[in-house]
Chains A and B, each alone.
Chain A
Amino acid sequence: MDPANSTLGKILLDEITPVVMVLRTPLVEESSQKNQLSFIQLLSPFCNFNNIDVPVRTASDQPYRLKKFKLRLFYASDIRQPNIEVAKERLNQVITDAGEKDLSKLCSEPFQIETVLNSSQNEFLPSWFQYFNKELVRTVSFSEHEAFDHPVTCLLAVSSRDEDPINKFVDLFNTNQLPSLLNDGAMDPKILKHFVLVHDDEEIPLERATKTLAEMRSTFGANCCHLLCINSSKDGSEEHENLWAAYKTDISDGQPLRSFLSSDDVDELKKFIQDLSSKHIIPHMEQKIRLLNQQVSATRKGFRNQIKNLWWRKGKDDAPENPAGPTYTFSSIESQIRVLGDYAFMLHDYELALSNYRLLSTDFKLDKAWKHYAGVQEMMGLTYFMLDQSRKDGEYCMENSFTTYLKIGLSGQRNATRCGLWWVEMLKARDQYKEAASVYFRISGEEPLHSAVMLEQASYCYLFSTPPMLRKYGFHLVLSGDLYKKCDQIKHAIRTYKGALSVFKGTTWRHIRDHVHFHLGKWYGFLGIFDVAIKNMMEVLACGHQSKTTQELFLKDFLQIIQQTGKTYEVPKLQLPIINIPSVKVMYEDHRTYASQAAIHVKESLWRSLEEDMIPTLSSKSNWLELQSKILPKKFKESNICVAGEAIGIAIEFKNPLQIPVSISGVSLICEHSPAVSEPNANNSTGDQNGETSNKSATSGNFTSDTSSFTLSEADVALGESETVLVQLTVTPRAEGTLKIVGIRWKLSGSLAGFCTFDSDLVRKKVVKGNRKSKRSPIDNLKFLVIKSLPKLEGIIHPLPETVYVGDLRCIALELQNPSKIPVKKLKMKVSPPRFLQIGRKEDLEAQFPTCLERKSSRQSSLRSKTDIVSDDIFLFPEDTTVVDGAPISCPLWLRAAAPGKLSLYLSVFYEMGDTSSVMTYRTLRLHFNIEVLPSLDVSFQISPRPSRLREFLVRMDVINRSSSKGFQVHQLSSIGNEWEISLLEPTKVLPSDFLRAGHAISWFLKLKNCRSVTDQDSASSLCPPEKADVNLLSGSEMLFDIYSSPLSEFHHYERVHQRISDQEHEDTVDFILVSRSQKTILFVSFYSVRTSNPIWWIMDGPQTIKHDFKDTFCAIPLRMIVHNSSDDVLSIRCKPSGSAVNMSSSGNASASSGNEVGWHDLSLSNDIKVTSDIPGTRVVKPLSSDTVPAFIWSASSSTHFILEPLSSRETPLEISVFSPGTFDLSNYTLHWSRSSQSDHGDESRASSGTCQGHPFYITVLQQD
């Protein structure tokens, strides 16, 4: 790339050009101002030559042609170092103006990072940077240590209207207005002068002007005088707008420029400047270059001169150090070399310039003239660049210059900035953006505003570097934005932050992103652009990851902005609080109605299984077709059905992500309602309608207009730190049609309205109730078909206890009410589970409890329930029951808390509409309630057969009060069934007080007798009067409860079902009912089922003590065994003494009657040794192990086999032979029983055979003396 065409090249060709000092009289200016241009502005358009094509010959003999050339015109008064303060002011103005200009872009969305990357540098970079940089460079113009700003020529202009023009010319140059550069010796005061007589055609005749020109020529020389005619156009209508457009910055645009310049005038101006350049300035410069070059060659070139120079400079080392460096006057050789270099540079002879700069830089370095040195280094860098060679050297020179400028302190600061800017351009021209960025970073000095601009430029360098360094781009933009903000350049700050946002938008670096969003929001708020401010602020609202103080700050500032807007602001997708859309639950009632919230949350399958038998049309296809297809338009077949006037509930979760409490108010649903469509053909139109309205809602969320057809509930929620709150909202449709729930709206802190739509794809709605159609799109779930109002039963249960104790039995009433005018009929009811809940009879409500359960004198009631076990069926209300117009009907229910824990009770009431014209013919009312059941009495039974009595048992009942505080009275224990008789072993009371206190335990010992017999099987009651089946355990109370009365018998039945005992009563189980009381009215009933052992009972009968003389013979003792069959089957029973007694029998007695039994003969001789022990004495209990020797054997027909009829007894004789005195335990026998085959039809769970170990029976044999 040609360096001259690069940005830097253009800047240099623009900035480092010969300066023409202009001196003019006020009248010249006045004439010029007629065209609204200053004199310089008038000339400026012609000073820029793109193709001047002048041959130039500098130091070498070879001429070359100069193409580009430019003159810079300055008034003498402007040729001085600019005032720092004024310059600063002007720069600030530049920045402010630039900020104002971009106002329209300010509110636009930040770019996507992809578009930023794809956009070219020119369109993305703000254009004012170049202008700013230029202005910044100009703040250090006309410095003493550089020669390229020193005027080359002086242009003196006098108007032809001036009196005595010749003297004016002399006066102009002689006054003290000349720049200090000329006066204080920094440059040669002998400057090339050019005299111009400006002739204003309007007022002075041309003849007078030409006369004056002749005078001038004679005075100043023929060559350097010129006559310039302007304003020759009389009417001032000439248009030359394009020529001056770039130069008249102070004139407002758009205003047509009145010009008195004719085209001849313009041509003349052009020719004048061209002549001035090519015939005067360039030859003058050539001449000077040659002259200076000769001098420099003479004094400095060559070996001798160099040595001399070195030595001479060395000697100056001792001179005191001047902080500003030594001063060089125009006559010093250093100044002359510098002028030579700069002139050569301006005439594009870079080789010559470079050689001179090199020469000079060593001189300055030796002199420690750092500012001069830096200036020369800078020029060297630029020359290298223009020569496009040795890039490294160029950069080195620039860096050297930059650091040297910085080294000399504050005065070099701005020079350093200029040098840096050029350096940056040099790097940019070579695509070294990354390095350029770091140079920009170094330029940013103390002045915060300038630093901001530099940092911003640095950031763009990072962006344009390859590969782009986006993070650094963002970071530097943020840094720059902060500095802009510090200087109150909010618009610039916003611009930079917006750029940064495009980097941070998609990242997970939330700390940084929040910072950017927050400040953007705040700044937009300052500017009063509230909508954008709020949009940015909203991004940071849900900042749960930030610290608490930050969250508070964010929220406070946000609310402040909202307040400043002075109105409620509506925003979609407000992040505070977070709405958990998947959590949305919809509750509505079609034919299923619910008595309470609790009932809604019960699983639909549970209800369905409960209602299975009650609802007739549920599965009937014909009914469905008939009803639905006729009345509902096809489109809405898939919709949910709801009834006008009945609320649809939505439960939705609000989550506060912050650690600070947040209050939201006015939470309500957004719904849209469209009236009913009569003909199904209109499907399309309604579809369109819906589409339109839903579009509206998505944008505004303002849907209050249509409130006539439905009413909405409002809720206020206060969310604590990180709290999640479930909000219940309802919408109640008032008119028929379709209702769609679109979304939800709320107000944050009273001023910010947020809304959120349930987008169909977002909602994973849980339909609480199962739908009849299994397949449906989710969007339809929030769409309801509203049908006309129907009666709806309301049901409550009272009194409903919250906690009860185990066994608590009480009567509660279900009260049904129909607030509507339309009657309902055909009521049916079902309850579940029957173990806990029973439907009572109508008269139960009036009856006094618990006295109604007391035993009546009549027998019938107690017998009734025996056969009248309630099947778990539907309870039908009487045919004529209709509920209408608020009149309640009651239905009694019995509640028994059977088990500790939480009881869930379900009731379902089915009813049909009195008015058959409606879409729904029936509805169901579902009730559900929970009762906490606390533990009360814990009862355990131990039953053991009474050895001394046949068919009698000893019962030990342990009662522990497990409740925490309550005391109980144990009132009554009853056994169920007619064949059992129970009584206390001892009639005395054990209980010190009537109440069993919490944690106490007590035991009773009872006697249980089976009085079942064959003869009395059918009329068992006559054998065993019911009084004997009950035991009153409470002193002072003779009242007994009838355990066969309703509902006790029903509960007993279901208890048995629950415990998986077959309905059929077994002979081997006994059920007890324990009735206990706490307060007067509360009755506790517990059921216990105890399994008694076997179908057979037996006792051994015989003498307890026998005296016998063992000297004669062994002692044979006859015994009796009475066996009773208590089962309904014929049993085959075999009595079998244990094999351990065999050993003895083999040696002593071979009279084993049952020789067919092999076991009796199985013996081994080795055991005989043990057998011989016949030590007389008292052997107490012989343990029954194989290696001990029994002292007795079963003899005679001790193994017997017989058949026993049901419920009969038999006596069997037995005999034992005792060989020595002692006490013997005769339990070493077993009884085998098996049912005879004819009764095998019985249920299989019963054992068909079994073995019983013998009961202990002790016999003592003493030696008879």
Chain B
Amino acid sequence: MIVCVAVVGHQNNPLYIQSFTEADDVLKLHHIVHCSLDVVDERVNNPKKSSPTLNETFLGLLYPTENYKVYGYLTNTKVKLILVTTDLDVRDADVRNFFRKFHAAYVDAVSNPFHVPGKKITSRTFAERVSTIVKSFGLSSAS
């Protein structure tokens, strides 16, 4: 199950962060997403590791914490998309697929002429779309 998705701007400022758990662990998820940025930075700034996948937006598993797996995705504009999941065996293809949809949703949201770049995404449509994507992720991996 996806517990949290986040969009982080190119200055590592949170643009959108949404958790999908009932429990009151918002702070924890914030921390996890925040920490994963360290790993994103490391991957991006370490050309040795990333050279074979220079143009790859999907960053793969960022780091496994005790209970969560964190995946990352970096757009051309250095916006990071982060996914936190509790699933233990996640297929890479699923995650890639998720990020592709998530990215499309993000692009549509920021294409809104009323959206101020660098500001938080407050679009309700975007939130709804993301939650649909999140739900469908759970379904596709289960089947």
**A interacts with B:** yes
Identify the closest chain A residue to B34 (Cβ).
A471
Chain B residues near A511: list those with CB within 8 A: 26-27, 30
Q: Is A509 an interface residue (CB 8 A)?
A: yes
Chain B residues near A471: list those with CB within 8 A: 34-35, 37-38
Within the complex, which residue of A462, A467, A508, A512 is in contact with B31, where a contact is CB–CB below 8 Å? A512
- Indicate if the CB atoms of B34 and A509 lie closer than 8 Å: yes
The complex places the Cα of A478 from the Cα of B32 at a distance, in Å, of 12
Q: Is B72 an interface residue (CB 8 A)?
A: no
Q: Give chain B's interface secondary structure class.
A: helix
The complex places the Cα of A509 from the Cα of B34 at a distance, in Å, of 8
Chain A residues near B143: list those with CB within 8 A: none
Identify the closest chain A residue to B36 (Cβ).
A471
Q: Is A470 an interface residue (CB 8 A)?
A: yes
Q: How far is the CB of B28 from chain A (nearest CB, A)?
A: 10
Q: Which chain B residues (15-61) contact chain A, with CB distance < 8 Å?
A: 26-27, 30-31, 34-35, 37-38, 41-42, 45
- Indicate if the CB atoms of A515 and B27 lie closer than 8 Å: yes
- Indicate if the CB atoms of B42 and A512 lie closer than 8 Å: no
Q: Number of contacting residues on A, CB 8 A? A: 15
The complex places the Cα of A611 from the Cα of B37 at a distance, in Å, of 66
Q: How far is the CB of A522 from chain B (nearest CB, A)?
A: 15
Q: Is B123 an interface residue (CB 8 A)?
A: no
Q: How far is the CB of B45 from chain A (nearest CB, A)?
A: 7
Identify the closest chain B residue to A545 (Cβ).
B120
Given contacts A507-B12, A511-B27, contact A475 B45 (CB under 8 A): no
Q: Which chain A residues (453-474) contact chain B, with CB distance < 8 Å?
A: 462, 467, 469-472, 474
Within the complex, which residue of A467, A470, A509 is in contact with B45, where a contact is CB–CB below 8 Å? A467
Q: Convert B54-82 into 0s and 1s, putting 1 for each residue whose CB lies closer than 8 angstroms to a CB of A.
A: 00000000000000000000000000000
- Indicate if the CB atoms of A478 and B38 lie closer than 8 Å: no
The complex places the Cα of A462 from the Cα of B30 at a distance, in Å, of 19
Chain B residues near A472: list those with CB within 8 A: 35, 38
Chain B residues near A509: list those with CB within 8 A: 13-14, 30, 34
Identify the closest chain A residue to B31 (Cβ).
A475
Identify the closest chain B residue to A470 (Cβ).
B38
Kindly count the residue-residue contacts between A and B in the assembled complex, taking CB atoms under 8 Å apart. Answer: 34
Q: How far is the CB of A20 from chain B (nearest CB, A)?
A: 45
Q: How far is the CB of A508 from chain B (nearest CB, A)?
A: 4
The complex places the Cα of A511 from the Cα of B12 at a distance, in Å, of 14
- Indicate if the CB atoms of B30 and A512 lie closer than 8 Å: yes
Q: Number of contacting residues on B, CB 8 A? A: 14
- Indicate if the CB atoms of A469 and B42 lie closer than 8 Å: yes
Given contacts A467-B45, A469-B42, A515-B27, contact A508 B13 (CB under 8 A): yes
Chain B residues near A474: list those with CB within 8 A: 34
Q: Convert A515-536 into 0s and 1s, putting 1 for each residue whose CB lies closer than 8 angstroms to a CB of B.
A: 1000000000000000000000
The complex places the Cα of A462 from the Cα of B37 at a distance, in Å, of 13
The complex places the Cα of A508 from the Cα of B35 at a distance, in Å, of 14
Identify the closest chain A residue to B29 (Cβ).
A511
Residue among B13, B26, B35, B37 facing the most chain A CB atoms (10 A cut-off): B35
- Indicate if the CB atoms of A467 and B26 lie closer than 8 Å: no
Chain B residues near A512: list those with CB within 8 A: 27, 30-31, 34
- Indicate if the CB atoms of B31 and A478 lie closer than 8 Å: yes
Residue among A467, A474, A509 facing the most chain B CB atoms (10 A cut-off): A509
The complex places the Cα of A736 from the Cα of B85 at a distance, in Å, of 72
Q: How far is the CB of A694 from chain B (nearest CB, A)?
A: 37
- Indicate if the CB atoms of A475 and B27 lie closer than 8 Å: no
Q: Which chain A residues (428-470) contact chain B, with CB distance < 8 Å?
A: 462, 467, 469-470
Within the complex, which residue of A467, A469, A508, A515 is in contact with B14, where a contact is CB–CB below 8 Å? A508
Chain A residues near B30: list those with CB within 8 A: 509, 511-512
Chain A residues near B37: list those with CB within 8 A: 471
The complex places the Cα of A511 from the Cα of B32 at a distance, in Å, of 13
Q: How far is the CB of B102 from chain A (nearest CB, A)?
A: 20
The complex places the Cα of A726 from the Cα of B52 at a distance, in Å, of 61
Q: How far is the CB of B3 from chain A (nearest CB, A)?
A: 16
The complex places the Cα of A467 from the Cα of B14 at a distance, in Å, of 22
The complex places the Cα of A284 from the Cα of B40 at a distance, in Å, of 58
Chain A residues near B45: list those with CB within 8 A: 467
The complex places the Cα of A474 from the Cα of B13 at a distance, in Å, of 16
Chain A residues near B42: list those with CB within 8 A: 467, 469
Chain A residues near B27: list those with CB within 8 A: 511-512, 515
Chain A residues near B31: list those with CB within 8 A: 475, 478, 512
Q: How far is the CB of A437 from chain B (nearest CB, A)?
A: 11
- Indicate if the CB atoms of A475 and B41 lie closer than 8 Å: no
The complex places the Cα of A103 from the Cα of B96 at a distance, in Å, of 51
Identify the closest chain B residue to A504 (Cβ).
B34
Q: How far is the CB of A443 from chain B (nearest CB, A)?
A: 14
Q: Convert B101-139 into 0s and 1s, putting 1 for each residue whose CB lies closer than 8 angstroms to a CB of A.
A: 000000000000000000000000000000000000000
Chain A residues near B34: list those with CB within 8 A: 471, 474-475, 509, 512
Residue among B26, B27, B30, B31 facing the most chain A CB atoms (10 A cut-off): B31
Q: Which chain A residues (600-623) contact chain B, with CB distance < 8 Å?
A: none
- Indicate if the CB atoms of A467 and B35 lie closer than 8 Å: no
Q: How far is the CB of B40 from chain A (nearest CB, A)?
A: 10
The complex places the Cα of A511 from the Cα of B14 at a distance, in Å, of 10
Chain A residues near B38: list those with CB within 8 A: 462, 469-472
Q: Which chain B residues (82-108) contact chain A, with CB distance < 8 Å?
A: none
Chain B residues near A467: list those with CB within 8 A: 41-42, 45
Q: How far is the CB of A420 from chain B (nearest CB, A)?
A: 17
Q: How far is the CB of B107 from chain A (nearest CB, A)?
A: 22
Q: Which chain A residues (119-134) contact chain B, with CB distance < 8 Å?
A: none
Identify the closest chain B residue to A438 (Cβ).
B63
Q: How far is the CB of A584 from chain B (nearest CB, A)?
A: 26
The complex places the Cα of A1152 from the Cα of B18 at a distance, in Å, of 97
Q: Convert A645-659 into 0s and 1s, putting 1 for each residue whose CB lies closer than 8 angstroms to a CB of B.
A: 000000000000000
Q: How far is the CB of B8 from chain A (nearest CB, A)?
A: 9
The complex places the Cα of A507 from the Cα of B33 at a distance, in Å, of 14
Chain A residues near B12: list those with CB within 8 A: 507
- Indicate if the CB atoms of A475 and B14 lie closer than 8 Å: no
The complex places the Cα of A350 from the Cα of B41 at a distance, in Å, of 41
The complex places the Cα of A511 from the Cα of B27 at a distance, in Å, of 7
- Indicate if the CB atoms of A507 and B26 lie closer than 8 Å: no
The complex places the Cα of A507 from the Cα of B27 at a distance, in Å, of 15
Q: Convert A857-885 into 0s and 1s, putting 1 for each residue whose CB lies closer than 8 angstroms to a CB of B.
A: 00000000000000000000000000000
With A469-B38, A509-B13, A515-B27 given, name 19 new contacts (CB 8 A): A462-B38, A467-B41, A467-B42, A467-B45, A469-B42, A470-B38, A471-B35, A471-B37, A472-B35, A474-B34, A475-B34, A507-B12, A507-B13, A508-B14, A509-B14, A509-B30, A509-B34, A511-B27, A511-B30
Can you report 8 residue pairs joining A to B where beta carbons are below 8 Å apart? A467-B42, A467-B45, A471-B35, A472-B35, A478-B31, A508-B14, A512-B30, A515-B27
Top 4 A-B pairs, shortest CB-CB distance: A508-B13, A469-B38, A471-B38, A475-B35
